[in-house]
Amino acid sequence: MFTPFAKLYAGLLRVLPIPQRLREWWNRQAPHRQDRYAMLAPLVAVLFFFTAIVVAVGYLRIEEMEREQEALRRDVEYAQQRLRLRLLERQEDLTRLAQQISNQELSTTQFRHRAEVILHLYPEIQGLSWVTPVSGRASSPSNAAPGERFRLRASQGYSPAAQALANYPSATASASASLTGSLDAFAQARELHQPAYARPWLMSADGPSWLNLFLPLQIQGRFGGVLLAEYSVDALYDYSISADVSARYATSLRSASGQVLAGSRVPRPKAATSSNGLTAWLGWAGQAEQQVLVSPAGTGLVLHAQAYRASQGLIGSSLFWLVTMLSVMTAWMLIANWRHTRRRVQAQRALLLETSFRRAMENSMPTGMRALDPQGRITYVNAAFCAMTGWSEQELVGAMPPFPFWPEDSHELLAARLEDELQGRITSSGLQVRIQRKDGSLFDARIHVSPLIDANGQQTGWMTSMTDITEPNRVREQLYASYERFTTVLEALDASVSVAPLGGGELLFANKMYRQWFGDQNLGHVQLSSQAGHGGMDTPAGAAARDRDNQDAVDDLAGLPASSLLDAADDPAEAENAEIHVETLDKWLEVRTRYLTWVDGRLAQMVIATDITPRRRAEEQAAAQAERAQTANRLITMGEMASSIAHELNQPLAAITNYCNGMISRIQARQITEEDLLGALDKTSRQAQRAGQIIQRIRAFVKRSEPKRVAFEAGALVDEAIELADIELRRNNVRLTRQIADGLPNLMVDPILIEQVLINLLKNAAEAIVQARRPLPQRRIDLQIQAAEVDGRPVVEFVVTDRGHGIAPEMMGHLYEAFHTTKAGGMGIGLSLCRSIVESHQGRMRAENLYNGPQAGTEAPEVVGCRFSFWLPLEPEPAREATTTRGDKPPSPSPQEDDRIRT
Ligand code: ADP
């Protein structure tokens, strides 16, 4: 985003004659980069400004210093000139005097007189001495030995140097360093025959300083001593340096080593010595300095001048600091301003984001919003409100009541509502109104009102939210209708339906039938579900204990994840299903229980109980009848076999009669021994026993008894059955062959009933053979008993194969139906009973015809007999036995079996 700076610079770039490439470069930069450059530019400008000021101040300062230096140089040179002139003039006068002495024109007195005049005229000359060699004769300078002695011939004024010279050279050892300079000059003047200045010297640190001039004397061409003039350096300074020079500069006369001999003793500032470039510029210690040699005095005397500290430096540095401060302040303000701008931009961006977020929210909201001012004028409507009513924003904003979306017939009512709204009398739950769309259609809406508060906390009107509740109303009505239907169906059910949470004492739902049977409490639900869990009849004594068990079971279930229970409930095999007898109602109920997730998410158990008392009674009756039928069938069988049995009984009876008659006649003829009699009686008794056995077996077979299962060996079962059936077979000239597999396991069966099945099948087989009039070799029945496997379960299979006429076509499909027979005196209930007996033992029965291969000239293969077989499982399924108390209703034959029958 462009900040004001960036905008400004963009504008400047357009206006200013900036090269095209720079402009292009600027345009290529990303906005945030432009923003940064724009922010940096003022800072750079301030830096430039600051540098320019520093450079300008420095430049001026250097200029000024140079000017000062120039002035100083001129002034110093002028002063030096004056000093030099003065020294030269004095030297000239003294040279003249020395000339007169050399010409021996002056006596000592005259000399003294002249010297006095000179000292008087020239105050800088403090002493004037005439020094001659002690010998009185002039010696050549070349052979002047160190041991040569001098004396002071005459002197005027102060003359420490002349004194020292007079003691020369003995004084040399004790002479001070400065005096040695004088001695050197003396030697120089004597050798060169020229005036020589000695190095200036100080008597003491603060004492006066002296400059000695030696003028050689040539007396008759020989060295005749010197004229020594002693200048006071202070006087020389005072009379040579003009006042205005010494007022402007700290001037002084110094020795070559820099020692101040006369004049101002201004110490040299430290900064000047370090001569730091910037500080010199800034004028802290930029005083100009100049020194020149005073030429006739040789290298020993230096005129030194230094400008006094000017206020210029201070002013310059103040200006500098002012500019520095202003620059820093400007930079700081720029940065602060930039940061402030950035914060403002951020705030602006956040505000924009917030605004667009709110707008998006407002537009996406299905709730219509409308703002009213205190007079009831619409000041704002959102998009949803316009979409809802069909009126545009322009049409609605500014509208006064009655509003265009008020239906014609409810103006008064809505005006009253609006009044309530404006008075703040609308409750928080809102109110329902009817709204008219622009196209005239109506819809129901619910409105909520809240006060509209501005930023100052003042209420400026009311904000109303409006929701179209036509659809929710319709859904609610539909839901209510479906609920009605649902409850009507459930209430009208002739089964009791109840739902209770696991482990909870409340009843979540109970239909009318439940309430009729058990009232409003959940006791009935608990009783039904617990008994269903135990799958048996209830007794009041065991109810409490079972209730506890049930609670335990519930607790166990409560620990399980709900999903596993619900999964189990989806599996029909897992849903509990039991028939129980409820004592209090004296009803048999079929109870189904399922787990389900209740509407509030809790795990609950639903119990559906259907009254099955009539069916149960019918089943009991049917069972009783079946039992009676079985007994009747056995009687009928016996009846049918009566003639055979009578014939069978006749034999032992006839034998008994024969034995008795024989014994009577032999006893009467007294021809019998006791031994024979006992033998005959024994035989008689055995025959009677045999008859008794037959009668006993018949009685046992036909005796009606409760069905009971015992473990019974398959072979033994067959023996018993054959004993009875064999009588009939033998009568009909039918042979029975049997193949009984070894080691057959025991069967849990009711032996009388299985015997009955076997007798029935053998009897039917014999009858079929008789009816088919088979020749003697074919009059045969095969009985096979073997172990087999059905669906992986071990079973014992019984197979009866005959050579009869086979099952008649009209009997196909009705073979096991009662009263279907092809025999003249037949009842047609034998096979029906056989099947129900076999199936009550969880076995299965089947029948099939046996065929020959197709004969020449005939299309269909010939029936040569039939085979009836049935199997019994070794162990009946305990589960089914335990959980269901239904009667032994035979299941209908499977399609496979039907096929076999039809084969
Ligand atoms: P009933 O023997 O009194 O007729 P069943 O129920 O024993 O009653 O037999 C029904 C019918 O089944 C018989 O009438 C007969 O037609 C047929 N049936 C039964 N066993 C055989 C068999 N071994 N061979 C041919 N048909 C048979």
Least confident of 128-142, 354-368, 401-415: 128-142
* Ligand 1 neighbour 298 (Cβ under 6 A): no
On the question of pLDDT at 272 being above 50, the answer is no
* Ligand 1 neighbour 865 (Cβ under 6 A): no
Nearest CA to ligand 1 atom 7: 830
51: left (phi over 0), alpha (psi -120 to 50) or beta: alpha
**579: Cβ–Cβ under 8 A, 6 or more apart, which residues?**
588, 589, 590, 591, 612, 616, 884, 885, 886
| CA–CA dist 810, 902 (Å, integer) | 11
Least confident of 171-185, 595-609, 743-757, 864-878: 171-185
| pLDDT at res. 267 | 59
**What spacing in Å lies between the alpha carbon of 827 and ligand 1's midpoint?**
10
Tokens of 101: 């002495």
Ligand 1, atom nearest to 768 Cα: 24
Ligand 1, atom nearest to 822 Cα: 14
| pLDDT at res. 901 | 37
Distance between first and last Cα of the chain: 96
The residue whose CB lies within 8 Å of the most ligand 1 atoms, and thus the one to mutate among 764, 780, 802, 810, is: 764
With 0-12 / 13-18 / 19 or more C-beta atoms within 10 angstroms meaning exposed / middle / buried, residue 609 is buried
* Structure confidence by residue, pLDDT tens digits, 762-794: 999 999 999 999 999 999 999 999 999 998 889
Q: How confident is the model at residue 266 (pLDDT cuts 50, 70, 90)?
A: low
Helical residues (DSSP H) of 440-539, grouped into ranges: 470-492, 512-518, 523-534
| CA–CA dist 560, 460 (Å, integer) | 60
Name the residue among 718, 734, 844, 842 with its Cα closest to residue 778: 734
* Ligand 1 neighbour 757 (Cβ under 6 A): no
| CA–CA dist 783, 796 (Å, integer) | 13
On the question of pLDDT at 548 being above 50, the answer is no
Name the residue among 392, 362, 399 with its Cα closest to residue 377: 399
On the question of pLDDT at 596 being above 80, the answer is yes
Asked if 263 contacts 246 with a C-beta cutoff of 8 angstroms, the reply is yes
**What spacing in Å lies between the alpha carbon of 727 and ligand 1's midpoint?**
19
* Ligand 1 neighbour 828 (Cβ under 6 A): yes
**What spacing in Å lies between the alpha carbon of 806 and ligand 1's midpoint?**
9
| pTM summary value | 0.40
Please compute the mean of the pLDDT values over residues 318-327 and round it to a whole number. Answer: 83
**What spacing in Å lies between the alpha carbon of 327 and ligand 1's midpoint?**
132
Location of structure tokens 């905008």: 7
| CA–CA dist 121, 235 (Å, integer) | 13
* Ligand 1 neighbour 834 (Cβ under 6 A): no
Please compute the mean of the pLDDT values over residues 566-587 and round it to a whole number. Answer: 70
**What spacing in Å lies between the alpha carbon of 897 and ligand 1's midpoint?**
17
| CA–CA dist 82, 90 (Å, integer) | 12
Ligand 1, atom nearest to 800 Cα: 23
On the question of pLDDT at 868 being above 60, the answer is yes
Nearest CA to ligand 1 atom 3: 826
Tokens of 851: 């065929």
**What spacing in Å lies between the alpha carbon of 828 and ligand 1's midpoint?**
7
* Ligand 1 neighbour 35 (Cβ under 6 A): no
Max CA separation in the chain (angstroms)? 248
On the question of pLDDT at 567 being above 60, the answer is no
**What spacing in Å lies between the alpha carbon of 826 and ligand 1's midpoint?**
8
* Structure confidence by residue, pLDDT tens digits, 239-252: 888 888 888 888 88
Q: What is the DSSP letter of 825?
A: T
**How many CB atoms neighbour CB 347 within 10 A?**
10
On the question of pLDDT at 255 being above 70, the answer is yes
On the question of pLDDT at 50 being above 50, the answer is yes
| CA–CA dist 253, 67 (Å, integer) | 24
**883: Cβ–Cβ under 8 A, 6 or more apart, which residues?**
535, 578
| pLDDT at res. 618 | 92
Nearest CA to ligand 1 atom 19: 764
